[in-house]
Amino acid sequence: MSQAVKLEVKGITKTFPGVKALDNVSFSVKKGTVHVLCGENGAGKSTLMKIINGIYKPDSGEIVIDGKPVNVKNPIDARKHGISMIFQELNYIPEMTIEESFFVGSWPVDSIKKVDWKSIKKKTDDLLKREGLAYNSKTKLKDLSVSDVQMLEILKAISYDSDIIIMDEPTSAITNKEVRTLFGKIKELKERGACIIYISHKMEEIFEIADEITVFRDGKVIDSRPVEDYDLNLVISQMVGREISDSYPKQDLEIGETALEVKNLSSKGSFKDVNFAVKRGEIIGFAGLMGAGRTEVMRALFGLDKYDSGEILINNVPVRIHSPQDSVKHKIAMLSEDRRRFGIVPVRSVKENASLSNLKRFIYKGRLHKSEENAVIGEYFKKMNVKTPTMDTTIDVLSGGNQQKVILAKWMVTNPDILILDEPTRGIDVGAKYEIYELITKLASEGRALILISSELPELIGMCDRVYVMSKGQIKGELSAEDITQEKIMYLATQN
Amino acid sequence: MSNKAKGKINPDMLSKYGIYLVLLVLFVVSWMANENFMTKSNLTNVSVQIAVGTILAFGQTILIISGMLDLSSASVLALAGVLSISAYLSTGSLIIGFLVAILVSVACNVLNGLMVTKFKTPPFIATLAMMTMARGAALLYTKGQNIYQIKDYTIFGQGNLMGIPIPIIFLVLTLIITWYILNHTVFGRSIYAIGGNEEAANASGINVDRVKMKAFIFNGILVGLAGVIFMSRVNGGLPNGAVGYEFKALTAAVIGGTSFSGGVGTAFGTLAGAFIVGFLDNIMVMVGLDSYLQQIVRGAIIALAVIYDIWSKSKGKSKKLIMVEETKEKVS
Amino acid sequence: MKKWLSMFFAVALLAASVTGCSSPAPTTEAPEGSEAPADGKYKVAYVARAQADSFAAWLANAVKEESEKYDNMTVDIFDGQASDDTENSLIENAIANKYDLIIIQPNNGEAQRPYAEKAIAAGIKVITTNARISGIEGASSVDADPYKQAQVNAELAVEKVPQNANVVILKGPPGNFHADERYKSWQKEFFEKRPDVTIVGEEIANWNKDEAMTYMETWMQANKKIDAIISMNDNMAAGALEAVKDKPEFAEIQAYGVDGTAEACLLIKDGKMTSTSLQSAYDLATALMDTSNKLLTGEETQIDMDIDCPLITPDNVDQYIEMHKKAGAIN
């Protein structure tokens, strides 16, 4: 089956400050086919799609359509080139009606350049009837179910008569029945000669719908083959298959009693029936794809969010935690994944940031003992190799890695028994990363219980004694010792 | 990893100490404009005149640093003042009168605090509502008339202790207390943290609601004190008194380096800001500048102060950090 | 729940500022005809310029009290909050609620004029006061003349103020009719007649005691010699005198005001203030109620009258102190 090539991606590179998102990416998509892109979070797939759709400009390389290089200036321009895109995050305006949203940006006009609402209504009604959707074209989007909105998004993209349709996780919010409908539509589109670029994590779907698969990893294309030449194991191993260096400072530590146990923790809409435990001296990992619910569980545990049911036991005693203050009292610490929002106070000094969670420690005769504060915090900074001009430097001039160390120091000052670290090395340079791994190991060796949420599989494998894997708000499995492999983690993480 | 260019004017330093430079320049210019400016009696005079506004400004400073503000302080001052005088006149006790002022003012501010913490009302709206209610209450209580013949009550605003006017003593006391709170207490640190990033402060274990309440209560004590001094100085319970003083207080705080974006501000800076406004008013009247022109000048100073505040803050911030954050969102 | 409550606050605040809070809300029953009402009492609306202005408040209180003496009238007080918009809306409301008579104390005569005319057209009787709006067909008025009020003081000042004196002037709010008229009066009746006098300070103190005090304190720093304080009202004069009190260099300073407040009378008695002229809210109130009664019972169809503005000096201050004592303003 040799069909003509519709779209070619040639040598695309895109760098954001500090991060190379795409590195010399090339592959081609044939007319009338479904081309699936696979890869972990941050592998670069969405960035590439945004470039094709005109949202970003590549640093180098080109996009070629029907043999001619094109310069897509913006999404409206993309539609003129026959490209339309369904986004991963639903982008819609709740107050808009169905007919308004359908033609957003390209409303048909009549002879006097007025928006032709009559023709819009007719077109919308026709479409809704054809698809068997029992909605009035004047229904507001906010009155539709999430899956309906997503279906409409899909219909909208299809309605543009585009011949390159990009679908980024289109089935994330729709029911199985609607998935069937979608796949039916996709078949129609293929017959029409359009091509579909389909991003998904769902392995069963991929193998059902794909004609060709391209695997991404760390911004590069690892491989690109027809689906017959792939099986599940190969896809997964290509997605994750990087060299696992032994450069993690893991030691064999003495593992003590259970410090924290969580039973049947549930929060409607976020996670369900979460059960896990951590012992002293242990580092347990929480793996999962974006949206799996790991951060939500920890935020509930720490008292930042409410949960509906479940029990939390510390040293086998049930506790009630309603706020971060309660957590700190119970000697729990949490390093948030969103440092900017929940971690640092940007306009204050590194010293003030570092002492914030345990100011009581520095009270002497009713007031803040500043020299004691300077000494203690200074010690921590020295041990952790925090690079800052002075103790009074404002924290927001430090590099990301050093900021992270300051916040980690803040939690160490509270002398916690249980430490939750949510993506502690994200966005941090290699050198600082290693220092943080050493700190984590040291904390565990002091008899504390550590929970490590991470999207970096090598990190989880290198640092953790056990790994819980979450998907769609539930724990799908627990891996320990030699079973902690990238493939096994990824397999569980992509479970439905 | 500092962005400070060597050799150029350091924006951090300018931001912190520039205010004192402006005060100095103002002094020198005023001295040259009118020979009577730089006399002990004039300087003392101005200090007494700014006492009420500055005490209010210290309260504002604490509130603004924590990300809030108080539009009701002038009205609550009036309510507290007239009730205080009334209490003194009926009991004959200055102490009771004084305490009533503090109590009334704290009560109003506790209400402010409840609206903000329990009912999640933005401080602007909550204190705006209180501003109208308190003023209405003061007018209702006095039927719109001034209370005269307040006898010994005048001591608070017109008396002297060892040759120093009592308002100045109160001013210095509140300055020291405010400075101490901001620099040497856990409460002060919490204020800075909450104003700098409330979500991070909360996630760090700070009891945000409790700290905010405390801030309003402290403000209440200062406003009550200001009410006593004000009424005492004008020798009457004026339900209409001090109109616009909340803005005077805000102006002093902002000129003194307290930023509306939160987490920044000092007691001494506010004092300098209050002096700048006070001395400016003083010299404008002494040289006989036209009333309308005076208003324009006052407004221009505020605008300049705020523009400068925003400008100096944006210079010091690391551009790099902003970019790393943008990256995080894009790479998914 | 919490969001709803903050919305409630915002809406309540908006409502309060738009409709204007007043003392006792009027009992608006089903509107009756404009003839003799069923319960025998005429409904009178008194639309005050602003409750927050102490003279206006004094007047409103006096009117309310005076109205108690009449069995055939109930008076409802409304607060215009120093805003033309608000005051005009209140007049319209009064028309809609079929009041028998509306007394208007205008914020700005020309702004209220069309609404006063509307009331007349609706068959409602209208009295304008403090300051009257002249030239409305069929409306009545009761007033004191601000020009005269200042003039009696200015005439005394022409005699008393020493040669080559330094004086300071304290003015009312800009654009305020009374403030402007009084100032005009001082210009013509004093400053033009005494060209030897030097003005060493002139500021707007907005009728306020504290503002006047601050200005006086500063003027005293800049000028060793100040001979007289010329103030457009008593509050400001009292404020300036407060600054001067206990200062031997200014022991002989003269002070002139307008209004005849209780405080001013006491200051005159103490020899601290030179003179003021009475703008008796009591007299105005008496005149207003008497006029209202005559108009409502049909005894008269139209009245225009002025109350007196007698000069108060140390020679005659005692009777006015008595007056204030009787009214409870002085203990």
Q: Return the pLDDT at B15.
A: 62
Compute the average pLDDT of residues C41-45.
Answer: 91
Assess contact for B96 and B144: CB atoms under 8 A: no
pLDDT class for B5, splitting at 50, 70, 90? very low
Q: Which residues of C touch B126 (CB under 8 A)?
A: 9
| Number of structural domains found in chain A | 2
Separation in Å, CA of B180 to nearest CA in chain A: 9
Against chain A, the chains showing at least 3 CB pairs within 8 Å are B
**What's the Cα-to-Cα distance from B90 to each of B72, B83, B84, B106, B273, rounded to whole Å?**
27, 11, 10, 22, 39
CB C80 within 8 A of CB C20: yes
CATH number at residue A64: 3.40.50.300
Nearest residue in chain B measured CA to CA from A373:
B184
Clarify whether residues A280 and A216 are in a common domain. Answer: no
pLDDT of residue C28: 40
Residues A203 and A316 in one domain: no
For residue A476, give the nearest of A268, A223, A327, A293 by alpha carbon: A293
Whole-angstrom Cα distance, residue C92 to residue B190? 53
Q: Does residue A127 lie in a domain region?
A: no
Same domain, A195 and A292: no
Query: What confidence score (pLDDT) does residue B302 get?
Result: 78
Query: Is A326 in the same domain as A400?
Result: yes
Find which of A345, A386, A396, A403 to mutate to test the B interface (most B CBs within 10 Å of its CB): A345
pLDDT band, very low/low/confident/very high, at B287 (cuts 50, 70, 90): confident
Is A465 domain-assigned?
yes
Pair A207, A275 in one domain: no
Tell me: the pLDDT tens digits for C193-202?
999 999 999 9
* pLDDT at residue B319 tops 60: no
pLDDT at B6: 44
Chain A stretch 28-57, residues whose beta carbon is closer than 8 A to a beta carbon of chain B: 41-42, 44, 46-47, 50, 56
Q: What is the pLDDT of residues B186-222, one digit of tens each?
A: 999 999 999 999 999 999 999 999 999 999 999 999 9
Token pair belonging to A81: 């080139």
pLDDT at B20 over 90: no
Same domain, A179 and A269: no
This prediction has a pTM of 0.77
Least confidently predicted of A233-237, B164-168, B252-256, C264-268: A233-237
Model confidence at C170: pLDDT above 80 = yes
CB-closest option in B204, B313, B324 to A324: B204
Residue C247 pLDDT > 70, yes or no?
yes
Residues of chain A scoring pLDDT < 50: 1
Domains present along chain B, CATH in parentheses: 37-317 (1.10.3470.10)
Q: Are residues A17 and A147 in the same domain?
A: yes
Same domain, A157 and A11: yes
Rg (CA), chain B: 21
What is the three-state SS of A86-136? Answer: ECCCCCCCCCCEHHHHHCCCCCCECCCCCECHHHHHHHHHHHHHHCCCCCC
Residue A473 domain flag: yes
Predicted confidence (pLDDT) at residue C27 exceeds the cutoff of 60: no
**Residues A200 and A300 grouped into a single domain:** no
Nearest chain C CA: its distance from B315 CA (Å): 36
Last-in-domain residue among A240, A270, A301: A240
Most confident range, picked from B209-223, B249-263, C244-258: B209-223
Domains of chain C: 41-143+281-300 (3.40.50.2300), 147-277 (3.40.50.2300)
Is A245 part of a structural domain of the chain?
no
Output the six-digit token pair for A254: 């003495």
Query: What pLDDT does B33 receive?
Result: 86
- When pLDDT is averaged across residues B39-54 and rounded to a whole number, the result is 91
Distance, CA of A430 to CA of C175 (rounded, Å): 71
Q: How confident is the model at residue B185, as a pLDDT?
A: 95
Residues of B in contact with A415 (CB under 8 A): none
- Check residue C32 and give its pLDDT: 35
| Crossing angle of helices B166-184 and B208-234, rounded to 10° | 170
pLDDT of amino acid B170: 97
Chain B with chain C: Cβ pairs closer than 8 A: 119
Do both A359 and A225 map to the same domain? Answer: no
Q: Is B152 on the interface with A (CB under 8 A)?
A: no
pLDDT of residue A160: 72
Query: How far is B94 from B85, CA to CA, in rounded Å?
Result: 9
Query: Are A274 and A410 found together in one domain?
Result: yes
- In tens, the pLDDT along B72-118 reads 999 999 999 999 999 999 999 999 999 999 999 999 999 999 999 99
Average pLDDT (C127-139) is: 88
Dump pLDDT digits (tens) for A353-408.
Answer: 999 999 999 998 888 999 999 999 999 999 888 888 889 999 988 877 888 999 99
pLDDT at res. C317: 94
Residue B136: CB partners within 8 Å, gap ≥ 6?
Answer: C21
Q: Domain residues for A475?
A: 258-493
Predicted pLDDT at A105: 63
Give A330-347 pLDDT, tens digit per residue: 999 999 988 888 999 999
Q: Are residue A71 and residue A177 in the same domain, yes or no?
A: yes
How much is the pLDDT for C26? 39
Q: Looking at the domain assignment, is residue A444 inside a domain?
A: yes
Question: Distance between CA atoms of B255 and B257, rounded to whole angstroms?
Answer: 5
Task: Using the predicted structure, report yes or no on whether residue C59 has a pLDDT greater than 80.
Answer: yes
Give pLDDT tens digits for B108-155: 999 999 999 999 999 999 999 999 999 999 999 998 888 988 889 999
> CB burial class (10 A; 0-12, 13-18, 19+) of residue A1?
exposed
Q: What percent of chain B has pLDDT over 90?
A: 63
pLDDT at B172 over 90: yes
